[in-house]
Amino acid sequence: MEIIIAPTYQEMSKISAHFIAREIKKKHDIVLGLATGDTPIGTYQELVKVHKEEGLDFSKITTFNLDEYVGLPPLHKNSYNYFMQDNLFRHVNVNQANVYVPQGNTEDPEEFSAWYEQQIKNAGGIDFQILGIGRDGHIGFNEPGSSFASRTRVKALYKQTIEDNARFFDRIEDVPRFAITMGVGTILEAKKILLIANGEKKADVVAQFIEGPVTSQITATALQLHTLATVVLDEAAASKLKRKEYYNWVRDNKHLVQKMVGR
């Protein structure tokens, strides 16, 4: 795992957007896995800027979002589909026919989940997956105990997740209890992964998932099993890491590292 510590949220967002833009430039018809939440908003803003100022072309890309609340129709203001339209899709030249977000109001979540997995396969798999992390260590909505082999399916949300996401709803009772989410197994099949995290409230879980043992109780630890995973943090989220100095040395000596390991 490559760990990059940025001084601020803005810098973290710029670095992440730069990585994504670089991948899009390398492969115009890239398949991106996308995340929602507060964390990637700055990254999406930076990407929109690169599109507007440098003409970064989204017209051939395909996107798959990680998750969606069960019960919310796609145009609901708290749906992740709405979030994506609002924060990224309507600001860039993405082809809406190539945009996939799990359908929260599907009548048959099981059948839908199998269909979603099939669409990912048909697209040739996810080239580059963007992730956030929940305070309970989830990636997507893979709550504690999710199998590392899991595929897209419905998960019951953990209490902490419901509390954390209550800020978007009028009342905590309005937060959906279930979500459709890509599985840990689905995520691990992405060719490259970028996880971003910011703020002091993520510091404990960031230290656990990077430096702790691999466990399904913190599903982000599955990234330790991936060969091309990069983590971009701000200083606050990185504050409890024990090996910060080592990560910073590698970051600051990238030219030497690249010569040795070729990436």
Comparing every residue's Cβ against ligand PGA, the nearest one is 37
CB of 259 to ligand PGA, least distance (A): 35
> Has 189 been annotated as catalytic?
no
Q: From start to end of the chain, where are the E strands?
A: 2-6, 31-34, 62-65, 67-69, 99-100, 128-131, 153-156, 178-181, 192-197, 229-234
Q: Closest approach of Cβ 104 to ligand PGA, in Å?
A: 16
The smaller minimum CB distance to ligand PGA, of residues 45 and 248, is found at 45
Residue type at 10?
A: Q
Q: Toward ligand PGA, which CB reaches closer, 162 or 250?
A: 162
Q: For the chain, what is the total number of helices (H) and then of strands (E)?
A: 9, 10
Quote the least distance from Cβ 180 to ligand PGA, whole Å. 15
Say if residues 219 and 138 touch (Cβ distance below 8 Å). Answer: yes
DSSP designation for 218: B
133 near ligand PGA (CB under 6 A): yes
Size of the site for ligand PGA (CB under 6 A): 6
In this complex, which beta carbon is closest to ligand PGA, that of residue 39 or of residue 62?
A: 39
Write down the catalytic residue from 136, 164, 234, 235. Answer: 136
Stretch of 77-85, 127-135, 151-159, 247-255 lying at the interface with ligand PGA (CB under 6 A): 127-135
Q: Which of these is catalytic: 46, 67, 117, 235?
A: 67
The single residue listed with the structure tokens 């945009």 is 99
Q: Which is nearer to ligand PGA, 104 or 134 (CB)?
A: 134
Q: Which of 109, 134, 137, 176 binds ligand PGA (CB under 6 A)?
A: 134
Q: How many CA atoms lie within 13 A of 228 on its CB side?
A: 15
Do 169 and 176 contact (CB within 8 A), yes or no? no
Q: Which is nearer to ligand PGA, 109 or 132 (CB)?
A: 132
Closest residue by Cα to residue 29 from 129, 130, 124: 124
Write the binding mask 37 to 56 for ligand PGA: x where contact by CB under 6 A, - elsewhere: xxx-----------------
Pairing mode, if any, of strands 229-234 and 192-197?
Answer: parallel
- Under DSSP, is residue 211 helix (H, G, I), strand (E, B) or coil? helix
79 binds ligand PGA (CB under 6 A): no
CA distance 17 to 46: 6
From candidates 132, 137, 176, 183, binder to ligand PGA by CB under 6 A: 132
67 flagged as catalytic: yes
Please list every residue from 164 through 203 that binds ligand PGA, using CB under 6 A. none
**Sheet hosting strand 67-69, strand order edge to edge:** 67-69, 178-181, 153-156
Which residues, in sequence order, are CB contacts of 259 under 8 Å at separation 6+?
Answer: none
Helix (H, G, I), strand (E, B) or coil at 179: strand
Q: Which is nearer to ligand PGA, 94 or 133 (CB)?
A: 133
Site residues, ligand PGA (CB under 6 A): 37-39, 132-134
Positions annotated as catalytic residues are 67, 136, 138, 143
